[in-house]
Amino acid sequence: MNRPRIALMCGKEGYLMSLNKEYLDAIWKSGGLPVVLPYTEDDAQIQEYVELFDGFMFCGGGDVDPQYYNEEKHPKTANISSERDLFESRMFRAVYPTNKPILGICRGEQIINVLLGGTLHQHIEDHTENRGEARDGQCHSVALDKNGLLFALMRKENLLVNTYHHQCVKRLADALACDAVSEDGYIEAYHAPSHPFCLGVQWHPELFYDKDESSVKIFTAFIDACR
């Protein structure tokens, strides 16, 4: 199999880089070759990343610094990594104009919206990861917009998803269109109409790859676009 090379953005603490294995497994099972990118501030290295890889995935993690969308830090905004914010912002701004496929999950969905000019709700009390079923349970539904990319992939009006976040999109960037809304009215997914494939989802489809057809469709569509 000729696997497209997929670059994944990850977390970093000190000298250690980390990423949940489920992201890597989902990419591999969908036909891609996952590669975790080391951070860099070198423009030449970033450009080489852009040229080398076929697709780019922005993964979950800590909160995006609200300075990126001109807000003061909320008391419950936490786990900010200025190094990660800087690296991911430089990577996204280098990749997006190339029209190479992009997938954003959780934090990844949030930072893409911010980098395109949108804002975030910094804390939503009833959406926190403190809910017992949050990470591994599909505990609420989202309604899909019939004009969206997700609906075109799923051909269904609702999806059952998990809640493992405390922030989400507040103002959607002008370049993006809403694909899904939660039961309580929050934006849960979007796509970029002018881009060949730029999709962001607030939930974690990688956690349900082996037991949920909708989760599989998100990754297979991404990998197919990367081919």
Backbone angles phi, psi at 177, to 5 degrees: -125, 140
- Out of 140, 168, 204, 226, which one is annotated catalytic? 204
Structure tokens belonging to residue 199 = 């999709």
How far apart are the C-alpha atoms of 180 and 203, rounded to whole Å?
11
204 is catalytic: yes
How far apart are the C-alpha atoms of 113 and 104, rounded to whole Å?
9
- Out of 10, 106, 198, 226, which one is annotated catalytic? 106
- Out of 109, 165, 206, 226, which one is annotated catalytic? 206
Helix (H, G, I), strand (E, B) or coil at 219: helix
Residue numbers annotated as active site: 106, 204, 206
